[in-house]
């Protein structure tokens, strides 16, 4: 029987949650790296026992851990992320030029074909690649050298590159997203990049439809249809049917179009999930009710999924990397909260139950479906 | 041998106890001790000082012989008690955070 492994990054360590394919009984391993901020963990689709973990703290900087046995044991690998050449400056909060400075890895995206290749999205926004299992890292500098780079400015969470989507049909094509610069795409393996933000509207900018400057929170795609993208922006849920060339708003009847996560059902490319969050400034679920919203029509028409989720006095947040799906049938959906709960649904969101209730604040959730 | 006391998380990262010893040729300075420490324990590279600038991370401090040496130039000689191994160099993490 197949199994599920949920990789959870929290404010105070990493946790590995495992179950068989029934997804009813869970074992909890951890904390790994107890007491330390673990931004993200992700396993290789080629070798699921190979997992990369980003540990980042104000005390000890960036540390990268790799496991080759599914999270049982870990070794440190390379942690030097050096921008290519003279990195120059980007815009700071007060509009002044600010030197590009590496702070942390927000997201790892292992290659779809090579277990030794992994991409890292970092703050200050840059994309790095390792071809030796994380031993050394080289910047894919064409992104940061885009003409708009000196004008990129951080969001409240920093100038972070948090989303990396690899096109399964085209190894030369990568999508990334940066808060608060927007979404970009390369079609030549990273040499050149173009902003893909046409159709986004952000009222906090002097020009709400500018080419860059949008606070994109997350992008998701279905593997079978990589030209269709779904986006949760600072405000607005969006979709693109042409690889990001243009976007249309699909917020529809959501109670608020703000949120961080967005993901796609493993077997239904038009079924998508978001967790609406009240903003600006409050950043907790509207009315104190934790609700996942599901659209079976690729957006616009949304249904609230509440069974098993707290419907009163709930004031947690669900951060941008904290939702994932498995590939079993029916599809499993998982998300983690800043209150330390990891909720799972084994029926595509119809009902939910917590796997764990009292972890440290959850920063990221990734899921592996094991043979 | 130079004695170095590491903070809790760096002990775990290096897989060592509270105190480690490293061989350092003269002159015994912050820089030469940290260089030797990173050779002996490469997983500590980048955790005590920045990879590129070699500057001490702001939330770490260097103490020895009851003195805060954090703002001493990296090539200043460490106290003779440290150089002789009678006293350790303490790498201390800020007591801060939640």
Residues of A in contact with B13 (CB under 8 A): 60, 63, 76
Q: What is the pLDDT averaged over residues A22-49?
A: 97
A75-106: string of b/e by CB count within 10 Å (b at 16+)?
Answer: ebbbbebebeeebeebbeeeeeebebebbbbb
Q: What is the pLDDT averaged over residues A194-200?
A: 98
Question: Residue A35: which of B9, B43, B46 has the nearest Cβ?
Answer: B9
Task: Enumerate domains of chain A plus CATH numbers.
Answer: 36-360 (2.130.10.10)
| SS3 track for A69-117 | CCCCCCEEECCCCCCCCCCCEEECCCCCEEECCCCEEEEEEECCCCCCC
Neighbours of A192 (CB within 10 A): 13
In angstroms, the CA A134 to CA A128 distance is 10
Q: What is the pTM of this model?
A: 0.97
In the numeric block, which tokens belong to residue A93? 């909060």
Counting DSSP H helices and E strands in chain A, the numbers are: 0, 30
Mapped onto helix, strand or coil, the DSSP state of residue B64 is strand
In angstroms, the CA A239 to CA A178 distance is 17
pLDDT by residue for chain B (98 residues), tens digit each?
Answer: 999 999 999 999 999 999 999 999 999 999 999 999 999 999 999 999 999 899 999 999 999 999 999 999 999 999 999 999 999 999 999 887 66
Whole-angstrom CA distances from A287 to A74, A283, A336, A338 are 42, 12, 19, 17
Contact B51 A80 (CB under 8 A): yes
Q: Give the full edge-to-edge strand order of the sheet including B19-22.
A: B19-22, B2-5, B89-93, B60-64, B67-68
Residue B96's pLDDT is 74
Question: A60 at the B interface (CB within 8 A)?
Answer: yes
Residues of A in contact with B57 (CB under 8 A): 59-61
pLDDT digits (tens, 9 = 90+) for A281-317: 899 999 999 999 999 999 999 999 999 999 999 999 9
Mapped onto helix, strand or coil, the DSSP state of residue A149 is helix
pLDDT digits (tens, 9 = 90+) for A315-358: 999 999 999 999 999 999 999 999 999 999 999 999 999 999 99
DSSP A243: T
Task: Enumerate domains of chain B plus CATH numbers.
Answer: 2-93 (3.10.20.30)
Q: How many Cα atoms within 13 Å fall on the side-chain side of residue A9?
A: 29
Mutate to test the interface with B, among A32, A34, A60 (most CBs of B within 10 A): A60
Residue B88's pLDDT is 98
In angstroms, what separates the C-alpha of A35 from chain B's closest C-alpha? 8
Residue A1's pLDDT is 62
A362-370 and A3-10 strand pairing: antiparallel
Closest chain B residue to A12, measured at CA: B98
Mutate to test the interface with A, among B34, B38, B46, B91 (most CBs of A within 10 A): B46
Please identify which residue in the block is written with the tokens 């796997």.
A355
Cis preceding-peptide flag for A276 (omega within 30 of 0): no
ipTM: 0.94
Question: B37 at the A interface (CB within 8 A)?
Answer: no
């Amino acid at each position: 029987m197949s199994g599920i492994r949920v990789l959870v990054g929290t404010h105070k360590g990493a946790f590995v949650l495992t179950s068989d394919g029934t997804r009813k009984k869970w074992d909890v391993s951890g904390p790994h790296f107890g007491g330390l901020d673990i931004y993200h963990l992700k396993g290789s689709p080629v070798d699921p026992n190979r997992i990369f973990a980003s540990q980042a703290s104000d005390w000890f900087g960036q540390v990268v851990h790799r496991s080759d046995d599914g999270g049982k044991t870990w070794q440190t690998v390379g942690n030097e992320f050096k921008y290519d050449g003279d990195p120059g400056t980007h815009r700071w909060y007060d509009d002044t030029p600010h030197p590009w400075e590496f702070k942390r890895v927000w997201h790892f995206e292992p290659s779809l074909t090579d277990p030794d290749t992994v991409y890292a999205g970092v703050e200050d926004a840059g994309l790095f690649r390792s071809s030796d299992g994380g031993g050394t890292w080289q910047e894919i500098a064409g992104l940061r050298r885009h003409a708009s780079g000196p004008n990129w400015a951080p969001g409240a969470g920093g100038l972070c590159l948090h989303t990396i989507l690899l096109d399964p049909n085209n190894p030369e094509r990568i999508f990334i997203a940066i808060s608060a610069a927007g979404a970009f795409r390369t079609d030549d393996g990273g040499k050149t990049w173009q902003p893909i933000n046409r159709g986004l509207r952000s009222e906090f900018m002097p020009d709400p439809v500018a080419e860059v400057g949008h606070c994109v929170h997350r992008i998701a795609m279905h593997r079978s249809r990589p030209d269709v993208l779904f986006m949760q922006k600072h405000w607005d849920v969006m979709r693109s049917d042409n690889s990001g060339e243009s976007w249309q708003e699909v917020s529809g009847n959501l109670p608020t179009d703000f949120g961080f996560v967005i993901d796609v059902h493993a077997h239904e490319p038009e079924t998508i999930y978001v967790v609406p969050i009240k903003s600006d400034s409050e950043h907790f679920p509207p009315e104190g009710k934790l609700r996942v919203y599901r659209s079976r029509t690729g957006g616009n028409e949304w249904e609230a999924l509440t069974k098993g989720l707290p419907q009163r006095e709930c004031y947690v947040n669900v951060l941008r990397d904290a939702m994932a799906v498995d590939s079993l049938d029916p599809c499993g959906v998982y998300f983690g909260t800043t209150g330390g709960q990891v909720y799972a649904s084994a029926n595509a969101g119809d009902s939910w139950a917590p796997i764990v209730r009292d972890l440290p604040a959850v920063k990221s959730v990734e899921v592996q479906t094991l043979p | 041998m130079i004695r170095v006391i590491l903070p809790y998380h760096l002990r775990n990262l290096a897989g060592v106890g509270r105190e480690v010893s490293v061989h350092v040729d003269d002159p015994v300075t912050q820089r030469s001790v940290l260089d030797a420490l990173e050779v002996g324990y490469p997983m500590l590279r980048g955790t005590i000082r920045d990879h590129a600038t070699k500057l001490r991370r702001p939330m770490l401090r260097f103490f020895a012989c009851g003195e805060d040496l954090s703002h001493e130039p990296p090539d200043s000689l460490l106290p003779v008690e440290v150089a002789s191994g009678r006293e350790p160099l303490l790498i201390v993490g800020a007591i801060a955070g939640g």
